[in-house]
Amino acid sequence: MPIVDGHAVADSLDYDTCIPIVRQAMTALSKGETQQLPRGVLPLDHGHMFGVMPGALNGGPFGGGPFGAKLVAVFPDNFDKGLPSHQGVIVLFDRDSGRPVGVVDGGEVTAIRTAAASAVATDALARPEAKTLALLGYGEQALTHARAITRVRRLSRITVWGRAPGRAAAFAARLAEELGLSVRATASAQEAVVDADIVCTVTAAKEPILNGAWVAPGAHVNVVGSSIAGPAEVDHDLVIRSRFIADCREHVLRQGAEFLRAKAAGLIGDAHVVAEIGEVLAGHAEGRQSAEQVTLYKSLGHVVQDLAAAWPLLKKD
């Protein structure tokens, strides 16, 4: 059985390939052309987690596509050891025979497909002329998000904030060199976002690091760092003032921490999740409604993104 390791994934899955794949996958999800179970999470000791994400690509552009699962270990403390905090495998099975067709490195796919999904959402929801990006966090997802967002908007400047100023500065220097853009580390999250057209929260923060009051009118925010009901990166204010779009409505209603906290506080109901990104992409729901509106994409991460991104790496045609 073939095994596609992380280097092979990084070599083959560039953003110009992955962004359209994820766009198709999210559209298929919202059209009911996929099947999936909500992510199962086994909490381990030391704050570690083991996630199991099963799904199937059934129809539309993926007709006859695979079924399978991502198995992912989440070890947030790996960041301080210089190791990836997400490691795992994606196992794909053949639709006709039930035969396992291969295993793909799940860490590398996760790094790329998550950023590709945010790029898809940004392309659909950010103002067309958006040109400034703020990254809250400077880990793996911050890097892949910077790469991916530059594929959908012509950026003039990036700001970066994180808890350790030295790390933020080193990350900014690396990004500036790679992308050939002005990248500046800021002393506060507020300073990073105040003039940003696009904001990505990509931290392992357990409590909000971004307040709605700091976000400029007309900004688009990708809220990515929390994938379970618990840790929340953004405050009630931002949730309430935003046009709130989910990657998957059913999953966000169960596991979207920022949404769930605002709901538990009695501030919003389920109808606050106005649409899935796939509905917006298919033209079945409105995305941004005005140049001043703040749009928010809640990313929990979805197995259909993993299956769709991994499949071409194993397909022989």
Which residues are near ligand NDP by CB under 6 A?
Answer: 74, 76, 79, 85-86, 110, 114, 137-142, 162-164, 167, 202-206, 209, 224-225, 227, 299-301
Q: Which is nearer to ligand NDP, 205 or 313 (CB)?
A: 205
Minimum distance, C-beta of residue 72 to ligand NDP, in the bound complex (Å):
8
Kindly state the tokens that stand for 88. Answer: 């795992």
Q: Tokens representing 65?
A: 């596509």
Q: Which is nearer to ligand NDP, 101 or 303 (CB)?
A: 303
Q: How far is the CB of 256 from ligand NDP (least distance, A)?
A: 10
Write down the least CB distance from residue 163 to ligand NDP, Å: 3
CB of 61 to ligand NDP, least distance (A): 21
**Measured from the CB of residue 205, what is the shortest distance to ligand NDP in angstroms?**
3
| Cβ-based nearer residue to ligand NDP, 198 or 224 | 224
Task: Kindly state the smallest distance separating residue 7's Cβ from ligand NDP, in Å.
Answer: 18
Query: How far, in Å, CA of 27 to CA of 275, rounded?
Result: 12
Token representation of residue 82: 């210089």
CA distance 273 to 244: 5
Q: CA 250, 205, 169: angle at the middle one, nearest 5?
A: 130
**Which residue's CB is nearer to ligand NDP, number 54 or number 139?**
139
Residue 192's CB: how many other CB atoms inside 10 A? 25
| Closer Cβ to ligand NDP, 170 or 291, answer by number | 170
| Nearer to ligand NDP among residue 68 and residue 139 (C-beta) | 139
Determine the Cα–Cα distance for residues 90 and 103; give it in Å rounded to an integer.
Answer: 6
CA–CA distance, 246 with 300 (Å, rounded to integer): 8
Give me the amino acid identity at 251. Answer: H
- In angstroms, how far is the first alpha carbon of the chain from the final one? 17
Q: Measured between alpha carbons, how far is 14 from 46 in angstroms, rounded to an integer?
A: 34
Nearer to ligand NDP, 134 or 300 (CB): 300
Distance between CA atoms of residues 302 and 141, nearest Å: 15
3-state DSSP assignment of residue 224: coil
Nearer to ligand NDP, 139 or 212 (CB): 139
| 33 CA to centre of own chain | 21
Q: How far is the CB of 152 from ligand NDP (least distance, A)?
A: 17
Closest CA to 117 of 280, 243, 268: 280
- Say which residues have a Cβ less than 8 Å from residue 18's Cβ, sequence separation at least 6: 112, 113, 116, 309
Residue nearest to ligand NDP (CB): 139
Please state the separation of Cα 183 from the chain's center in Å: 21
Q: Nearest approach, Cβ of 188 to ligand NDP (angstroms)?
A: 12
